[in-house]
Structure 1
Amino acid sequence: MNLPNLLTMVRLALIPVYLVVFFSDQPMRMYWALGIILLAGLTDVVDGYLARRNQQITQLGIMLDPLADKLMMIAVFLSLLISGKISFWAAVAIFFRDMTMILCSVIFHFRGKKTVPANMLGKLTTVLFYIALLLLMISSPGDSMWEIAQVFLWSVIALSYLTSIVYMFQLKMVNERFM
């Protein structure tokens, strides 16, 4: 296992750590939880950089990297739903999109189809989701920052669906070439 894939595995291991911290009674738990999210984001950036720089891009990494991102986002948005920081419909929109992307990737992988690495639009969407998370975690329902965070979140959700459509077209194109 190469270092980029190991960092992806660390990111997967951070998911239960985040959930334990978020739902704990610890003072400043939101800041600690946010720190875990940012650490996960940093490992995402570093593993991608190392994989490209050291030419260690693998099919396993291409599949696990976005899976780790999506599972972390699902865990975070589930915690925000349970705590009342996002609406049921925002959570449904996020979960539906991410679960669809995960299932499609798994199906493509196990059918021996090629997968494609995240594109710039996907990376931008991930960064914007992290910004939305920051805004949601530091605000409370009813204050003006929370309203801004909600509008920003829905904008990012819309962008994520556009990103998914682009990704599906890329998958279709790369697999038509190899038929």
Structure 2
Amino acid sequence: MNLPNILTLARIVMIPLMVICFYWPAEQGKLWAAFIFWLAGVTDWFDGYLARKLNQSTPLGAFLDPVADKLIVAVAFVLLVEQYDTIWVTIPACIIIGREIVISALREWMAELGKRASVAVSYVGKVKTFLQMSAIFFLMAGQFHIVVEWIGWISLFVAAVLTIWSMMIYLKAAWPELMGKS
């Protein structure tokens, strides 16, 4: 167990804390949930940085890091779908969560074929991740200021478009394997 793995595990522990804060009856509950989500995003960047910088990458960390990311994002989107109760959050949330499932399965399958590198994380995927994380944070905190909420809405819609775009990039890269034509 090393510091990067501890930070990854801390992100998983933050999930129920975020949910509790989100439903906390006090007015600041959702703001605390947004802060916890933001803190999880910071630890996500920091654990990866430390793992590379300190040469502390482990199989456990390589497994848990994407799991922690997908869990907290999926849970946060479920909370936002309930909070906003509108198709304008539900559809982008379904697109983003659905893409994560498809690409995770695609990466696993490509890894079994020894071709994981052909579906490595792209620049579009990184921008998409940044925007979806920003959207979640701003939409959770948005009830406190309309400008913050609008930043969340714009980030959400751009993230949804980039989600589809990045999924197409990954599927195009894997298409020969999917069609058995490699």
Show the counterpart of 1:4. Answer: 4
| Deviation of the 1:165 alpha carbon | 4.0
- Alignment length (residue pairs): 171
* Shift of residue 144, structure 1, vs aligned partner: 6.7
Deviates more, 1:42-51 or 1:61-70: 61-70
- Distance change in 2, residues 1:59/1:38 (3 Å): same
Structure 2 spans left out of the alignment, 5+ residues:
177-182
Q: 2-side partners of 1:20 and 1:97: how far apart? A: 27
Change (3 A) 1:20 1:91: same
1:20 correspondence with 2:20: yes
Task: Tell me, in whole angstroms, the C-alpha distance in 1 between the residues paired with 2:60 and 2:110.
Answer: 13
TM-score normalised over the length of structure 2? 0.76
CA shift in 2, pair 1:146/1:35, >3 Å? closer
Aligned to 1:98: 100
- Structure 1: distance between partners of 2:61 and 2:113: 15
Q: CA deviation at 1:84?
A: 1.4
How many Å separate the matches in 1 of 2:141 and 2:29? 11
Q: What is the aligned partner in structure 2 of residue 139 from structure 1?
A: 142
Instruction: Please say which of residues 114-123 and 53-62 is displaced more in the overlay.
Output: 114-123
Task: Provide the secondary structure at the position in 2 that maps to 1:139.
Answer: helix
- Separation in 2, partners of 1:40, 1:14: 7
Q: What is the aligned-residue RMSD (CA, Å)? A: 3.0
The secondary structure found in structure 1 opposite 2:84 is coil
Q: Normalising by the residue count of structure 1, what TM-score does the alignment of the two structures yield?
A: 0.77
Aligned pair 1:76/2:76, yes or no? yes
CA–CA distance in structure 2, aligned partners of residues 113 and 60 of structure 1: 20
Higher share of residues assigned helix: 2
Shift of 1:118: 4.2
Deviation, structure 1 residue 170: 6.8
Cα offset for 1:14? 1.0
Per the alignment, residue 57 of structure 1 pairs with 57
Q: Which runs of 5+ in 1 are unaligned?
A: 174-179
3-state DSSP class of the match of 1:136? Answer: helix
Task: Give the superposition deviation at 1:106.
Answer: 5.0
Instruction: Determine the structure 2 residue equivalent to 1:176.
Output: none
